[in-house]
Amino acid sequence: MTSGSTPPVATKGRILSGIQPTGNLHLGNYLGAIRNWVALQNDFECLFCIVDLHAITVWQEPAALTHATREVAAGMIAAGIDPVANALFVQSHVPAHAQLAWVFNCVARLGWLNRMTQFKDKAGKDREKASAGLYVYPNLMAADILVYKATHVPVGEDQKQHLELARDIAQKFNSDYGVEVFPQPEPVIRGPGMRVMSLRDGSKKMSKSDPSDFSRINMTDDADAIAGKVRKATTDPHPLPDSVAGLEGRAEAANLLNIYAALTDQTLEQVVTEQAGQQFSGFKAKLTDTAVAVLGPINAEMKRLMNDPAEIDKVLARGAAKANAIAEPVLAEVYRTVGFLSR
């Protein structure tokens, strides 16, 4: 580890965000996260991390994890992330994440972790069988952010609680040691479609871990697959309402309209007005065309990039070098603050 002073945070602010390589990237990842990262990349110094350490908090087939790690990188580049201007890297390539996470395991309180809804959801009924890693997952996420002293964290709404925990950890660390080492990272949650729900059940979020592939539109789906999934998406027997209030109690209709609004860069109000009185069949055809138009070129570029894994690995190695150069001095500062004997 190198010591020395921490590089200053860029005046415009520094973004860190992450995504798990746990299967297919889907429309929720795109609309809730990646698309926003693309929009923010020119205004901030950005670090985008493929969080493989997080992924193994639940079982991953090793070969599938390796494949998904490259595929997520390809998806991000295909969607418009510039891997030269930003740092695009793999979490396990930057050891300071895990090292800082240990310190945070000793800062965060059990009571804080007990409140995390994602742990409750993912652990399910048989909590005794959940990995210890799944329980301390939010501490690692706090380390991902704070090891870069990131000021802004663009995430979907589902990650808001974890981000609040990261803020609590930053504050407790600073106050326990009487320092101002960490900033309070701000969530950046924007735009419609920030919580994309399952196509089968409008009360569940669209997720890589849903056993039904019909619950999500993957960024690797071709036009036929997208059409089939939208056609089969759960709906109700009524035509589309003429006001947002009319979506009350119609979670599936609300979800499809929200997705359409996000894909066409409109507000939900605009889309509801435009589609008022339509039958689902007509609206679904429109939604399919729009999703294919947006995802088709990304899908094609992802496939092209995946044909050259060595090139993806090169890009990720460059990203890791950039990330390590920022993270190592921050970790050294933390170790000094805590009182660890310097090497």
Q: Which residues bind ligand TYM (CB under 6 A)?
A: 16-20, 28-29, 32-33, 51, 54, 141, 144-145, 153, 155-156, 158-159, 162, 194-196, 205-206
* Shortest distance, position 332 Cβ to ligand TYM, whole Å: 21
Per annotation, catalytic residue among 160, 172, 205, 314: 205
User: Among residues 194 and 334, whose Cβ is nearest to ligand TYM?
Assistant: 194
Can 122 be counted among the known catalytic residues?
Answer: yes
Can 208 be counted among the known catalytic residues?
Answer: yes
Scored b (16 or more CB within 10 A) or e, 265-303 reads ebebeebbebbeeeebeebbeebbebbbebbeebbebbe
* Shortest distance, position 243 Cβ to ligand TYM, whole Å: 24
User: Among residues 103 and 155, whose Cβ is nearest to ligand TYM?
Assistant: 155
Do 305 and 76 form a contact (C-beta atoms < 8 A)?
Answer: no
Q: Which is nearest to 93 in space by CA: 37, 48, 151?
A: 48
Per annotation, catalytic residue among 129, 204, 208, 284: 208
User: Among residues 264 and 342, whose Cβ is nearest to ligand TYM?
Assistant: 264
Per annotation, catalytic residue among 122, 160, 172, 204: 122
Residue 114: count other Cβ atoms within 10 Å of its Cβ.
10
Q: Which is nearest to 89 in space by CA: 328, 326, 331, 321?
A: 321
* Shortest distance, position 65 Cβ to ligand TYM, whole Å: 13
Q: Which is nearest to 290 in space by CA: 268, 267, 272, 264?
A: 264
User: Among residues 83 and 156, whose Cβ is nearest to ligand TYM?
Assistant: 156
Scored b (16 or more CB within 10 A) or e, 132-169 reads eebbbbbbbbbbbbbbbbbbbbbbbebbeebbebbbbb
User: Among residues 141 and 312, whose Cβ is nearest to ligand TYM?
Assistant: 141
User: Among residues 264 and 278, whose Cβ is nearest to ligand TYM?
Assistant: 264
Its sign, for the CA torsion 330, 333, 337, 339, is: positive
* Shortest distance, position 73 Cβ to ligand TYM, whole Å: 13
User: Among residues 83 and 154, whose Cβ is nearest to ligand TYM?
Assistant: 154
The one-character DSSP state at 243 is: S
> At which residue do the structure tokens 């997080």 appear?
54
* DSSP H stretches of helix in the chain: 27-29, 35-40, 52-55, 62-79, 96-105, 110-114, 117-123, 132-146, 160-177, 223-232, 251-263, 268-275, 280-306, 309-338
* Amino acid letter, residue 124: G
* Shortest distance, position 32 Cβ to ligand TYM, whole Å: 2
* Shortest distance, position 309 Cβ to ligand TYM, whole Å: 21
In a 10 Å sphere around its CB, with 0-12 CB exposed, 13-18 middle and 19+ buried, how is residue 63 labelled? exposed
* Shortest distance, position 284 Cβ to ligand TYM, whole Å: 19
Can 129 be counted among the known catalytic residues?
Answer: no
The closest residue (CB) to ligand TYM is 32
The catalytic residues are 122, 205, 208
